[in-house]
Structure 1
Amino acid sequence: MGRNTMMKKLKVSAPAFSLLPVDVIVNIAFSIPIAADLFAFLEALRPYNLLGPLEHLYQLGKQLDLIQDLGQATWLKKHLGPQTKIEWIVNHFPTSTKEIADDVWDLHITRVSHGFKYNSLSSGKKILSRLKHLTTLKVYDEHAFSMPAEALDDYHQAWDDIFQFVEESHQLTELQASPDSHAMSSSNLVNLITWFRRQPVRWLKQSFYEAIFNCLTLDKLILRTCDFKGLDFSRFRFSMRSLQVGYCRGGSDYIYSLASRLENSNLTHLNIYVRHDVSIDSVKSLVRVLTTTIRVYLPGLCTPIKQLALKGLPFDSTDLSKLAPLFENCPLESLSLHAIRSSFSFVKSLATAIQNKTIHDLEVLFPVITVEEMRLLIQSVCHPSRRLK
């Protein structure tokens, strides 16, 4: 009798869902829309070792506190340290700051994320302006949505308000804006440029660079201390005539990418400061492109690079001596080379490369240059068989 009773207890202690495959349990978990219900479900399964990969989600849930209502500001101030950083995920901005409790403004809210919806088009500019600790703002269109014509003005105004807030903010250091259905206006760009002047730019999304490089009216572009890592250069048309790139990060990859776009560009003047993380092979690939670019101007086709400046060249004399001969077939009119090292072999190979060629304007800046090296360069650029300019 006791044995039968024990068997019944064992049978009852095994839940029916323990027979379900792990992938079914995972699918059930991710179909639960409310976070509190999801973690309650995980809590119920955990004693039976049924979580599988969901164990990582369970542990993460123990570390992150998701506060559904900022009306709990009093509780937050009591239980959180004064420097605890809080992210506010906004579904819908209140229409007035009066709808938010006074205690909220004292919270250490450093990040705000908000997605515009067809029925939620308030930018919350007044509310954002009250968040004195705000440093990061992420704003986007929630999803592709069709909007009635009468709501379009409100939608575009909401984005205009966001960019105006960014310009006026003195503590905002990070912005991620994805206006999928809003065309950036000139006033929006002025807002951003004003902010850029006040805050050092560390990261820009691909579409912003596309807007710059593909601007048909842009004649000269100067970029300094930008980070080109992860950018897709194949989407850049290089509509400008003059490009100056200084102290920009991205290593050899961006030099290779830049070289691949020169042939179909409008560039005639190119000035690059070569950082220490750039390889000699990438610079050689760029110079080689200049020897294959179309040389005769035809409407709709590219014009050749006429002026090239390579500054800060960090290479040793062996690598520089490999680079110099490539200029022999480059129909440049002006060449400027600044190197942190030099050697007689490099200067000699450079002098040979530019002799009897099209270069009529040569600027070199080396740490040390001897009289003999200067004589070689002068004789080369003044060779009687060179064309006069």
Structure 2
Amino acid sequence: MLEFAKSGPFTLGVEMELQVVDRDSGALSPRAEEFLDGWTGPLRVRAELFQSMLELGTGICLTAADAERSLRATAVPLVARAREMGVRFIASGTHPTARYQDRHVFPAERYHGLIERNQWIARRLLIFGLHVHIGMPDPETCIAVQNELLHDLGLLLAMSTSSPFSQGEATGLASSRITAFEAMPTGGTPALVADWSEFSTLVAALMRSGAITSLKDLWWDIRPSPRFGTLEIRVCDGLPTIRETCAVVALSQVLARRAGARIAAGDGRSFPPAWRIRENKWRASRHGMEADLVIGDDGTTMACRAWLSTTLDELDAGGYFTGNTSYLPDLRRLADGAPTCAARQLEVFERTQDLDAVTLALADEFDADVLRGSTPTE
């Protein structure tokens, strides 16, 4: 069976995929390689598939507040370096106007291999997400927590929706980004497995058949990451500010803690039916926080904001927010009707009829959050 690295149970690692854009026009700028060549800040900034992308990450963190401190410690010199180069950053799921046909692939063997294998499908991956690694005590718990969190992926996607525009068009979706993975042969909704043995057998078959060359080729919405001893949540769109990012990170960690407690008590849930996972993903991608999500196998639904409110009450009462209580007000505002990033973009466009204004508003949000700063109290 696959080996699984040791990690601190329910610790965190966070990765934000950033868009590199021109300071004045907001257009994507293929300058990641140049940026990294001159980067002397923390070693938490990495290349990504395209030259107009960078990844901002953390080390191992105990809480979302720790992750926020880590991200901010890197973001301040990151923004300073960007100013020197005449570029800025955006952290939404898509760039409103950029065309994938105009992008430049970062000069790395893995990325060029990805394009060669998947062709047009991979060339369209001009998308930007949030990835949350959660430490798992052992591989069996990893699969059990994954199966628990499959019940919650629609909610996490709805909260993070930030890609209503793509290729210069209004898509009618709150998250157009998430649909891109559905075309990948090993992307999107994960295979449903009961335990680590079944997952290991599946991976061996995929490797033997040539369907994947490494576990990195599993572009699932949630997946085990044996190399780090983590469960990686990948369903979320990128969020425009570090504060909003870490609120979603906090909820992800808290949901995983609850899942772990249920499993330890023998009360863990199996994965939901595949139709419900896919239906909730679709509803969240289409309507964001205004969706009605399916909460029961009999088809029972609940308004997304009401589900978030109920979930927060249960998690808070259960004591699972320890170390992350400073994010409860942010999350409750969203439950009470605060607009998502997708909704804010649509409001800017309705007011200005200008997608460039939407793009620059996103860059302004990222800059303002970094420059304003925040010191989590936990």
Using structure 1 for the length normalisation, give the TM-score.
Answer: 0.19
Higher relative CO (Cα under 8 Å, sequence separation at least 6) belongs to 2
Give the TM-score of the pair, scaled to structure 2. 0.20
Larger Rg belongs to: 1
